[in-house]
Structure 1
Amino acid sequence: MSNKGNEGRVVIVTGAGQGIGREHALAFAADGAAVVVNDYAADAATAVAAEIVAAGGRAVAAPGDVADWADGERIVATAIAEFGGLDVLVNNAGFVRDRMLISLSEDEWDSVVRVHLKGHFVLLRHAGAYWRSEAKAGNARQARVINTSSGAGIFGSVGQGNYAAAKAAIAELTIQAAAELGGYGVTVNGIAPAARTQMTMGAGDAMAAQMAAPADGSFDSMDPANISPLVVWLGSPGSADVTGRLFEVEGGVITVLDGWQRAASIDKGARWEQDELGAAVADLIEKSPTQVKPYGAR
């Protein structure tokens, strides 16, 4: 009897050609899953799939653009054709085009929002349709979706307005999808990872220094492999009671992110006069939790 939580399950990991996505793919394979390795770069996807197979696992490459409707449909179809079904979708693919808002071009805005937000939706849409059809046919699967948001999307990040907006939308999409897909046996959760990746290492000298591996051989809190155990667990049948949640993950620290709860409130019982609002809003803010500043804010 295997003690692997994902033994026999089928997993799609997008953006799995390198970084955090690659670690997810390797970790799922080590936990007994068959892995569909997606990346925009075909060579990268093929290399990771080959690495899994060489280690005795099961994997197939499915390169493609996650924000393209037909590519997304084909990636899901690959899982079903190659391994007989689909149990887990890990939406991870993304990239950055960092600039201050007043310097962002239209293309830099559109391309980042497209890959992150639309890319999450496209795969979620095609996978969700499959799981709905399975449930209606009496073959409901213990399906899981793990989306990738970011601390930038929850708290903001100076110079990353396009990325932060897309990641904030992904956090809300996670809550929305959990509510809509729960009836088909699907749980949907999200992570906000902090780790050393090509994106973070390219974000400036200060960030690169912060993300660098420790020279003394101590625990490497920025190793992208630190993120995968939670993702693999969220993909397993054992996580059935957890849905609609977002977790910040950095090193050995896991934090529940519980945003957009109602805080202090006041009811006048009548329409407010404009000259009353200064004092009323000040009182509300004083009674509410302290707001976390965006990364990079002074």
Structure 2
Amino acid sequence: MINLMDMSGRNVMVTGAAQGIGLEAAKLLYALGARLTLLDANPQKLEQAVEGLDPQRVLAQSGSVTDRTFLEGLVAEAAERFGGVHGLVNNAGITRTAMIDKMSVEQWQQVIDVNLTGVFNCLQIVGMDMKRRADAGDASPGSIVNVSSDAGRKGTIGQINYGAAKSGVLGVTMSAAREWGRHGIRVNSVAYGVVATEMTEVVRSEKFRARYLASIPLGRFLEPAEAVKSIAFLLSDASSFITGQHLSVNGGSHITA
């Protein structure tokens, strides 16, 4: 029986891989047979994340998606070791919460630097490796999945920086898909609602829980292990003719015509 989700022989780079969605994505992709290139800004958590994994299938380094020199070195090493980077999960992100009138320029810039410029950095550097292989005759050079959010589609209170960055990720996705489609490189995004991670603890607290659940037709928050199935789908052959799309994974909280 053909398994369209089989990732054997492919190297997938996951950013923000030491916790939350990134960690669950790495676990699922590894179980599907992928080789992994993992990065995270937290070296201790990253070390814990790779415990028990076959070192022959995993390359893990701690660093920031804002550091292009680091990223270029990591992608070069991954390409040499695994024959290329065949998939990218552009997931790394941070929050700096404040209402508009109280948000500092530093809080704004920190989130834009990681959540938007960091996405561009990884997409560009990994994409160039994919394009190199496409130019050499590889008909399926790779798939990129950018992690966005409902915050980028309908706004969010207290996180104008986060909402702006995640909205920007949607534009990055569509533009890259248009430019690189002729090379066989697919670029899509997943737009999550409220995922049960450390980043959403305030939203899921007793003060706000009922309000948010009332807006979700399925009536529950999204678990990280469930969320990353959409990422695996967009990386796999099951989505071979899908590019430039935003897959809403939010229990129906953002339904449009």
- Give the shorter-chain TM-score range: 0.7 to 0.9
> Cα distance 1:151–1:9, how it changes in 2: closer, same or farther (>3 A)?
same
Residue 183 of structure 1 is matched in structure 2 by 182
Measure how far apart 1:7 and its partner are. 1.3
Measure how far apart 1:136 and its partner are. 1.6
Deviations 1:53-112 (A, max 9, x none): 38xx82221221011111221232232133221110000000100111111101100000
Q: Tell me the amino acid that sits aligned with residue 127 of structure 2.
A: G
> Cα distance 1:127–1:210, how it changes in 2: closer, same or farther (>3 A)?
farther
2:173 aligned with 1:174 = yes
Measure how far apart 1:231 and its partner are. 0.6
Deviations 1:144-172 (A, max 9, x none): 00001110111000111000000000011
Q: Give secondary structure in 1 for the equivalent of 2:123.
A: helix
Q: Tell me the amino acid that sits aligned with residue 130 of structure 1.
A: D
Measure how far apart 1:220 and its partner are. 6.9
| Distance (Å, rounded) in 1 between the aligned partners of 2:234 and 2:254 | 14
Residue 158 of structure 2 is matched in structure 1 by 159
Residue 88 of structure 1 is matched in structure 2 by 87
**Identical counterparts, % of pairs:** 34
Contact 2:29 2:232 in 1 (8 A): yes
Measure how far apart 1:257 and its partner are. 7.4
Q: Give secondary structure in 1 for the equivalent of 2:143.
A: strand
| Distance (Å, rounded) in 2 between the aligned partners of 1:236 and 1:168 | 25
| Distance (Å, rounded) in 1 between the aligned partners of 2:158 and 2:176 | 29
Further displaced range: 105-114 or 187-196: 187-196
Contact 1:46 1:60 in 2 (8 A): no
| Distance (Å, rounded) in 1 between the aligned partners of 2:81 and 2:191 | 31
Q: Tell me the amino acid that sits aligned with residue 197 of structure 1.
A: T
Residue 12 of structure 1 is matched in structure 2 by 13
Further displaced range: 139-148 or 238-247: 139-148
Backbone CA RMSD of aligned residues: 2.5
Contact 1:246 1:257 in 2 (8 A): no
> Cα distance 1:248–1:207, how it changes in 2: closer, same or farther (>3 A)?
farther
TM-score by length of 2: 0.88
Which runs of structure 2 are paired with 1:1-298 in the superposition (5 Å)? 3=3, 4-53=5-54, 58-193=57-192, 194-203=194-203, 205-206=205-206, 209=209, 221-250=221-250, 253=251
Q: Give secondary structure in 1 for the equivalent of 2:71.
A: helix
| Distance (Å, rounded) in 1 between the aligned partners of 2:83 and 2:220 | 38
Between 1 and 2, higher relative CO (CA 8 Å, sep ≥ 6) is seen in: 2
| Distance (Å, rounded) in 1 between the aligned partners of 2:254 and 2:152 | 15
TM-score by length of 1: 0.76
Unaligned runs of 5+ in 2: 212-218
Q: Tell me the amino acid that sits aligned with residue 222 of structure 1.
A: L
Contact 2:150 2:254 in 1 (8 A): no
Q: Give secondary structure in 2 for the equivalent of 1:35.
A: strand
Q: How many residues align?
A: 248
Q: Give secondary structure in 2 for the equivalent of 1:95.
A: coil
> Cα distance 1:52–1:255, how it changes in 2: closer, same or farther (>3 A)?
farther
> Cα distance 1:50–1:150, how it changes in 2: closer, same or farther (>3 A)?
same
Contact 2:87 2:143 in 1 (8 A): yes
Q: Give secondary structure in 2 for the equivalent of 1:53.
A: coil
CA radius of gyration, larger in:
1
Q: Tell me the amino acid that sits aligned with residue 158 of structure 1.
A: I
Q: Give secondary structure in 2 for the equivalent of 1:13.
A: strand
Contact 1:192 1:249 in 2 (8 A): yes
Measure how far apart 1:27 and its partner are. 0.4
Contact 2:131 2:185 in 1 (8 A): no
Further displaced range: 35-44 or 139-148: 139-148
| Distance (Å, rounded) in 2 between the aligned partners of 1:77 and 1:191 | 27
Further displaced range: 138-147 or 200-209: 200-209
